Amino acid sequence: MKLQLDKFGKTLISRELGQEAFKAFQSTLRGFSKDEDLEIDFSGILTLSPSWTDEFLSPLLNLIGNRLVLLPSDNLSVQATIRILEEANNRQFKIKS
């Protein structure tokens, strides 16, 4: 399954909105097959911050582990945010090459 992250907005900054997005995604996640990967597509995102992402992608990583797959992005804020979260969580995201 592919998730277009810009469905939650193009500028994803605050923790509060990251938490809201994660709650809103729960109903979709319930229908998600255990054999399937969840691909996160960052295209369309203008700015992504570690606060928003820590409330959305970090709990997803804890829930589904390596089935969470990030698609590559040339957006500088996406790259910087992923890097700092990997460092903070001491855990690597799986990134599709």
Residue 19-38 contact track with another protein, rule CB under 8 A, x = bound:
--------------------
In the chain, how long is the greatest CA-to-CA distance? 32
**Cross-strand bridge partners of residue 70:** 40, 95
Give yes or no for residue 91 binding another protein (CB under 8 A). Answer: no
Q: How far is the CB of 36 from another protein (least distance, A)?
A: 27
Give yes or no for residue 64 binding another protein (CB under 8 A). Answer: no
Q: Which of 24, 63, 88, 95 binds another protein (CB under 8 A)?
A: 88
- Alpha carbon distance 79, 4 (integer Å): 17
Q: How far is the CB of 34 from another protein (least distance, A)?
A: 26
CB 4 within 8 A of CB 39: no
